[in-house]
Structure 1
């Protein structure tokens, strides 16, 4: 399985959110450690797991679509 590791800046470019928004509002409320991001070697640096984030974003879209269409 290929995993794409991204910094906060790289993730912000991909999802069109400001890096500060990711750090202050999304991290630990919708993006969770061990699911959407890791801290390699127990350090301070955060690497986001793109495939997990993309999967959850698409899941949210399909759930919202189902709710609206019911």
Structure 2
């Protein structure tokens, strides 16, 4: 049984205290990766974020720089 919790962009924004626009324009596909942090159910346009991998990755990198987000290319986004 799959117990993954799926969130819309707006629900994720509320949980991590970011604007939904920031998630869509700056985090998606740089920090939040398709197949790792989000899926497109049934091949559609709608995006559902997977809470557990996001929570895990935020905690993994929180000790390095308290106000930065790790990026896929190895850099960090500050602010």
Q: TM-score, normalised by structure 1?
A: 0.87
Larger RCO: 1 or 2 (CA < 8 Å, sep 6+): 1
How far apart in 2 are the matches of 1:38 and 1:9?
15
Question: Any residues of structure 2 matched to 1:42-61 within 5 Å, and which?
Answer: 42-61=43-62
Query: How many residues are matched?
Result: 64
Which is higher, the Rg of structure 1 or of structure 2?
1
Unaligned runs of 5+ in 1: 66-70
Q: Report the Cα distance in structure 2 between the residues aligned to 1:61 and 1:43, rounded to whole angstroms.
A: 32
List structure 1 runs of 4+ shifted beyond 4 angstroms. none
| CA displacement, residues 12-42 of structure 1 (integer Å, 9 cap, x when unaligned) | 0000000000000000000000000000000
Identify the structure with the greater strand proportion: 2
Please give the root-mean-square deviation of Cα atoms over the aligned residues, in Å.
1.2
**SS state at 2:36 partner:** coil
TM-score, length-scaled by structure 2 = 0.78
Higher helix share: 1
Aligned to 2:16: 15
